[in-house]
Structure 1
Amino acid sequence: MEHTISASVQAQSQKQRIKDLEREDRELKQANEMIDKVGVVQFTLHWIGLFVAYLTYSNS
């Protein structure tokens, strides 16, 4: 009986660990998506800044 309970507890523990890892995986994917979006915004702002500087100096 003890062996059956131990196996059942171990199975529950493994199921919980899988759920936790799946949740962590989703959270990391969301964080990576946000980082990618921030990178695109930074890249765009950098090029806008270069373009404005070009326009400013070319009209001087």
Structure 2
Amino acid sequence: MRAGITKHITFHCARYTNAILFLNNGVDIFTVSKMIRHKDLKTTSIYAKVMNETKIEVVKK
């Protein structure tokens, strides 16, 4: 509240953002999976897909 953020941010949103930031900064997907406590690497691969789509959009620009 002191920062002036009025948007409701869920735990899931924070976790997702954290995973994307890790991947964006070169942390391998296996480590990210363990850090955010996914039981299956397949679940974490969704975040990697988002990163790939982001990279494609950047290249297109």
Structure with max Cα Rg: 1
User: TM-score, normalised on structure 1?
Assistant: 0.35
Q: Which structure carries more relative contact order (alpha carbon 8 Å, separation 6+)?
A: 2
Higher normalized helix content (fraction of residues): 1
